[in-house]
Structure 1
Amino acid sequence: MKLIKLDAIDSTNDFLKSLSSKEELENFTVVTAENQTKGKGQVGGVWKTQAGKNLTMSILVKDFLFDNEQVFNLSVAVSLAVAETLKSINIPNICIKWPNDILSYNKKLVGILIENTLKSDGRIVSVVGIGINVNQTDFDELPNASSIAVISGKPFDKQELAILIVEKLKEKIQFWKTDSENFWKDYFNFLFKKGVPTAFRDNNNQDFMGIIQGVSPIGKLQVLLEDDSVVEFEIKEVKMLY
């Protein structure tokens, strides 16, 4: 894989999107940065990270998505790749909080932001942004976050972790192409709070209880409500309270 290492940048996603618009990059080109000043999270949020301590990376993915109805499959592939990589290095109690945050012991370790661009020839080119709390140990301002070093009790090599994730992502994409049923089953098995009564808040600021049943093929969260109806929510429509 081609690896571009930067010292500081506003956003690795923006850098990689700009670069790929100017030249034809090889698939799975990776950009990493020691310091990201304007990292982006889901739904317009901000991804804050301590300079030099964590893994901030973006991966170019081409020739995988060919239909807008398939875009969530990449989210599943990425979250599985990260979750399985962390499990392989013995980080315990790993789960995926819908749609693609990675937790350990209910603490957030990883944020993922995927940005898709539809090209004039109909191809969908994706930039996968992954932020992993690796060696940071101070989370006083982020009580719901933790890091690999805190949970495991030892530091990790960030570049080695990046290489493991990219190789696992290639494997997961191939897995989807050959066995999409078990690909999705693996995602459901990692799903945080699946089958457990959970508190939610909708975008009208109303709280309610529900039980996660699964996720639809286009990425909507399926929740069983107290009246026995199953409702599907988009990411902007509901927040899990935990």
Structure 2
Amino acid sequence: QLIWLPACPSTNSVAQQLQRENRASEGCTVITGHQTAGRGQRGNQWEAAANENLTLSVVWHPTFLAATEQFLLSQAVALAALDWARRWLGASGDNTLRAFGVATATSLSLLTGRQYDLAEAAARLLECLEARYLQLRAGRTGQLRQDYLAALYRYQQP
């Protein structure tokens, strides 16, 4: 279930509304070309330029995870983003951003000097998200944890 909106205040708000109406199946993805009132943590807001960013929300129902295991979902999402960068952008190394010569997040277009097809980028990202979520749902958490620790910047380095 993929819902494309040319513009919306917040993909998360749309996904939450679909949940309240019991219209969001597992994996339902809301994606927009222009998010006009994006929300971050603790009330932070942010704006994204129209049709220049991946702005999406994915609905999952991880009922197979205990409350104490919820961080595994965050690990799966982080690894999916890393998988996407490594596969689709051709980045390599332990830290994908460092592979581009930067240590902080920035625009991929600025880093690479290329323009990207957002529909293709989103499709590849969703493939990576699905693969990691299925890994988690299948109970392969040991490998997930191992991959996550291996990807952490400066993990166990002085």
2:91 is matched with 91
Secondary structure in 1 matching 2:46: coil
Counterparts in 2 of 1:79 and 1:165: CA distance versus 1, 3 Å: same
Alpha-carbon distance in structure 2 between the residues aligned to 1:46 and 1:196? 34
The answer as to whether partners of 1:82 and 1:165 remain within 8 angstroms in 2 is yes
Does residue 16 of the first structure (1) align with residue 44 of the second (2)?
no
| TM-score between both structures, scaled by the size of structure 1 | 0.57
2:44 is matched with 45
Give RMSD over aligned pairs.
Answer: 2.3
Alpha-carbon distance in structure 2 between the residues aligned to 1:66 and 1:178? 9
Higher Rg: 1
Alpha-carbon distance in structure 2 between the residues aligned to 1:65 and 1:106? 35
Secondary structure in 2 matching 1:8: coil
Unmatched runs of 5 consecutive residues or more in structure 2:
none
2:123 is matched with 163
2:153 is matched with 192
What percentage of residue pairs aligned between the two structures are identical? 25
Counterparts in 2 of 1:64 and 1:161: CA distance versus 1, 3 Å: farther
Unmatched runs of 5 consecutive residues or more in structure 1:
97-101, 109-145, 198-242
Alpha-carbon distance in structure 2 between the residues aligned to 1:77 and 1:29? 17
Counterparts in 2 of 1:18 and 1:81: CA distance versus 1, 3 Å: same
Secondary structure in 1 matching 2:144: helix
Higher relative contact order (CA 8 A, sep 6+): 2
| TM-score between both structures, scaled by the size of structure 2 | 0.84
More strand by share: 1
Per-residue Cα deviation, 1:11-41 (whole angstroms, up to 9, x for no partner): 1101110112113322111111111122122
1:106 is matched with 103
1:179 is matched with 140
Query: Residues 95-174 of structure 1 correspond to what in structure 2 (within 5 A)?
Result: 95=95, 105-108=102-105, 146-174=106-134
Counterparts in 2 of 1:179 and 1:19: CA distance versus 1, 3 Å: closer
Per-residue Cα deviation, 1:67-115 (whole angstroms, up to 9, x for no partner): 211211111111111110111021355748xxxxx8762121xxxxxxx
Query: Residues 191-210 of structure 1 correspond to what in structure 2 (within 5 A)?
Result: 191-197=152-158
Secondary structure in 2 matching 1:164: helix
2:57 is matched with 58
Tell me how many residue pairs correspond in the alignment.
Answer: 154
Secondary structure in 1 matching 2:33: strand
Alpha-carbon distance in structure 1 between the residues aligned to 2:128 and 2:2? 16
More helix by share: 2
The answer as to whether partners of 2:15 and 2:24 remain within 8 angstroms in 1 is no
Per-residue Cα deviation, 1:168-194 (whole angstroms, up to 9, x for no partner): 222112223342112111111111232
2:72 is matched with 73
The answer as to whether partners of 2:39 and 2:46 remain within 8 angstroms in 1 is yes
Counterparts in 2 of 1:53 and 1:93: CA distance versus 1, 3 Å: farther
Alpha-carbon distance in structure 2 between the residues aligned to 1:188 and 1:47? 29
Q: Counterpart amino acid of 2:120?
A: E
